Structure 1
Amino acid sequence: MKRLSDQSFKDARDFLMKNGRDLEKSLFRYYFEDGSKEDVLQASKVYQNEDGGFGNKIEPDFQLEISSPMATSNAFQIFKELELSDDHPMIREAMTYLLTSYDDEKGRWHAVPAEVNDVPHAPWWHYDHEKEQVMVEAAWGNPNAELTGYLLRYKQLSPEEMTENLKERSLTHFQALDAIDMHETLCYLRLADELSNFDRKMIIDKVLEHLPELVDTKPEQWSHYGMQPVQVAHNPSSPFYEPLKYSVEENLDYIIDQQDGDGAWHPNWEWGQYEYDWPKAKADWKGILTLKNLKLLKSFDRIESYTVKS
């Protein structure tokens, strides 16, 4: 079993402090040093618009300044980790955006607006006007299931009828699926955190059933885009850890080996377009992935040592 060396950890930190966005820097300090929630929220506020939603390139693969439900879901993931309560102004504003951006007629949120086509973006974020959606929305649960989870989490700010209807629709949709998509699965696992034990078990059991075709368990697959074992079993207490234990431990070794000479981890995908804009997005992703992998390695006790948050 490999562990990230002290020097490699320092190299990753140095990369983040020199090249990362303020958001990732503040999150690193929060998880590994003496950083505060307030610093993270201050860095997050930069991405929040007047309508309460989030944009401003918080998701580097689409360079939208205006708000989108997908970008707002990224912010809620941070709020959830920080355990923000429903009386926080940023939560209240973001919830207002979610409620006003929901399309009652279509029965869904539009992950990103059509304006995404006017800015640099990855091809999978290109808006199809005929279908009125982007490629990732072919799976209804992405991001609808995840966003439903936030309505449940902050139910004091959500209309009860809307929230219950979306919860039931989300569960019915998932139960009916014959095959499950990587990103939709991650959205449902985030929803599962907000459900009763009975409903959560249904989601967990179905993911367990589909692990063989859902997760890439062979090291030769990990250089390509796909679901790696640690994405579904992201800590030792995950219900997916034991079924994937050997692959998870091997995946962690692989991740340690993939750290580049600059101290960062690099994305294993390319846009293949917007050749002048992709390098900047890639640089932002390097900071995001470096933080993500450090948190992951920490959760599995795979870092030799680090400055523990006081």
Structure 2
Amino acid sequence: MKTLTEDAFAAAERYLELHARLVDRLRFAHAFLDAPGELVRNAVAAYQNLDGGFGHALEPDLRGSGSQPQGAEIALWMVEGIAGAEEPMLLRACDWLAAHTAEDGGVPWVLPSVLDDERGPWWQPQGERPPGALNPTGPLAGLLHAYGVDHPWLEPATAFCWKAIAEISEVGAYDAMCILNFLERVPDRERAEAEFQRLRASLRGAAAIDPDAPGHVHSPVDLAPAPDTLARRLFSDDEIDLHLDRVIADQGEDGGWAPNFEMWTPVVAHEWGGYLTLARLKTLKAYGRIGK
């Protein structure tokens, strides 16, 4: 079983210092150096528009300033463990979500306004009035439940997620992550467990068990980034250990971890690299794989 050495950790820290965005450097300092979470909160708030949504490439492949649902999701992840139920930034984001929710109760994957912005080629809206999607409604609702937020948007969004999950039998990798993030945090634990058990085989199948699988795949530790996550139950100890070893082995010579998907413009390589490097460090810490 491999551990990330002290020198390798220092190399990752240097990579973040040289290449990562301020918000990810502050998140690293909060997670590993006991820096105050308020600094992270302030940095995330800088990406919030006056309409309450988030843009300005907080999601690196959405380069425009306009607010998008995926920007709101990343903002919620970044303030996990920092923001509370009465955080004004979150409540303003909920107001924005409510204003851009489809008739089915979910928010679309991407809004048509994305066509006015520079973006990755895969960011294409589903028509002029796109339907709600589990990606990102599931994690948005799950995180807001975890924060204890009380807002009118959350109840219909939660109902949308339950309905969408109930209609699924075969799960793709991105939807698997969204379903798991919702089921792990939604208050109705009995119903969450029942859906987890029903979809268990398909959720497991969404991960690439072979660590040598090529292309843009999601590994078991992408679905289960910490040992106390719901998805951890999908994989054996040996499978998790194998993929944690691979995470350590995949650290680049520059100290960071590189994404396994298309880098369509140069700036996103390090923006995603900083985001992913911090995620890998947090996963290795959660599993006790960082050496002293």
Asked if structure 1 preserves the Cα contact closer than 8 Å seen for 2:15 and 2:254, the reply is yes
Which residue pairs with 1:16 in the alignment?
16
| 1:269 and 2:261 aligned | yes
Are the structure 2 counterparts of residues 48 and 142 from structure 1 closer, same or farther at C-alpha, using a change threshold of 3 Å? same
Which residue pairs with 1:60 in the alignment?
60
**Alignment deviations for residues 260-301 of structure 1 (CA, whole Å, 9 cap, x no partner):** 111111111114x5xxxx110111011111101000110111
- CA-CA distance at 1:156 after TM superposition: 5.7
- In structure 2, give the amino acid aligned to 1:210: S
Asked if structure 2 preserves the Cα contact closer than 8 Å seen for 1:95 and 1:157, the reply is no
Are the structure 2 counterparts of residues 265 and 154 from structure 1 closer, same or farther at C-alpha, using a change threshold of 3 Å? closer
Tell me, what secondary structure is at the counterpart of 1:127? Answer: coil
Q: Hey, what's the Cα distance between the residues in 1 that align with 2:218 and 2:257? A: 17
- In structure 1, give the amino acid aligned to 2:138: A
Q: Hey, what's the Cα distance between the residues in 2 that align with 1:50 and 1:180? A: 36
Q: Runs of at least 4 residues of structure 1 off by over 6 A?
A: none
**Alignment deviations for residues 207-233 of structure 1 (CA, whole Å, 9 cap, x no partner):** 422244211101221x42122010122
| 1:89 and 2:88 aligned | yes
| 1:167 and 2:165 aligned | no
Alignment of 1:100-115 (within 5 A): 100-104=99-103, 107-115=105-113
- CA-CA distance at 1:114 after TM superposition: 2.2
- In structure 1, give the amino acid aligned to 2:174: H
Are the structure 2 counterparts of residues 99 and 225 from structure 1 closer, same or farther at C-alpha, using a change threshold of 3 Å? same
1:237 corresponds, among 228, 240, 259, to 228
| 1:31 and 2:23 aligned | no
Alignment of 1:281-300 (within 5 A): 281-300=268-287
2:178 corresponds, among 179, 187, 190, to 187
Alignment of 1:106-185 (within 5 A): 107-129=105-127, 132-133=129-130, 140-150=133-143, 152-153=145-146, 157-159=150-152, 163-185=154-176
Give TM-score scaled by structure 2 length: 0.90
Which residue pairs with 1:308 in the alignment?
none
Q: Hey, what's the Cα distance between the residues in 2 that align with 1:65 and 1:299? A: 34
- CA-CA distance at 1:148 after TM superposition: 3.0
- CA-CA distance at 1:76 after TM superposition: 1.2
Aligned alpha-carbon RMSD (Å): 2.2
Asked if structure 1 preserves the Cα contact closer than 8 Å seen for 2:252 and 2:258, the reply is yes
How many percent identity over aligned positions?
A: 27
Q: Structure 2, unaligned stretches of length 5 or more?
A: none
| 1:216 and 2:216 aligned | no
- In structure 2, give the amino acid aligned to 1:141: L
Are the structure 2 counterparts of residues 99 and 254 from structure 1 closer, same or farther at C-alpha, using a change threshold of 3 Å? same
Q: Structure 1, unaligned stretches of length 5 or more?
A: 306-310
Higher relative contact order (CA 8 A, sep 6+): 1
Are the structure 2 counterparts of residues 281 and 99 from structure 1 closer, same or farther at C-alpha, using a change threshold of 3 Å? same
Which residue pairs with 2:2 in the alignment?
2
- CA-CA distance at 1:93 after TM superposition: 1.5
Give TM-score scaled by structure 1 length: 0.86
- CA-CA distance at 1:150 after TM superposition: 4.7
